[in-house]
Amino acid sequence: MTTRDIGYVALFAALIVTLGLVPAIPLAGGVPITLQTLGVMLAGLILGPKRGALAALVVVVLVAVGLPVLAGGRGGLGVFAGPTVGFLVGWVPGAWVAGLLAMRLERPGASIVARTIGLTIAAIVGGIVVVYLGGIAGLTTVVKLPLAKAFWVSLPFVPGDLIKAVVAALVTVKVRDAFALDRV
């Protein structure tokens, strides 16, 4: 990794943490609606699989060492024993998958609409499907919810996350048009 790569990883880790400052919307089951998944999507879409996943991993490590970097000022090892652990851990592969798909689905020279659609698909698959798989697995193992119930508990998050995916795609198109960033 170059110094520039490290800077990008740190910048997007800071973005994910900063989006946690926006007040969370608590839902039943102990998993709040936050904007931090928007940061995870942006990290993957803009930086690519490797740097995007590393940015998410930095945040997970910061949580593990006890820093209050999650929405609501949460942090510490207790988070890894709570209902949000699967979603949190899912950020890393989610950013990786979003970045990998962004590399495959965003065609240089394509129209803004076509690029936005491809990036939205990448954000949905990585930032929603992959993260939710982790979240549902966490709910079934940590909270001991049956699989079907864990799935249904996760559904209220989908509309907001679909909006985040579109926003992430639109922002990515503009950022990538303004800056010559290679996805790594």
Rounded CA-CA distance 163/171 in Å is 12
Backbone angles phi, psi at 181, to 5 degrees: -110, 130
| CATH number, domain 3-178, options 1.10.1760.20, 3.10.450.50, 1.20.1730.10, 3.40.1190.20 | 1.10.1760.20
3-class DSSP assignment, residue 29:
coil
Q: Indicate whether 30 pLDDT > 80.
A: no
Is the pTM higher than 0.75? The answer reads yes
Confidence of residue 182 (pLDDT cuts 50, 70, 90): confident
Q: pLDDT tens digits, residue range 38-79?
A: 999 999 999 999 999 999 999 999 999 999 999 989 999 999
pLDDT digits (tens, 9 = 90+) for 97-116: 999 999 999 887 899 999 99
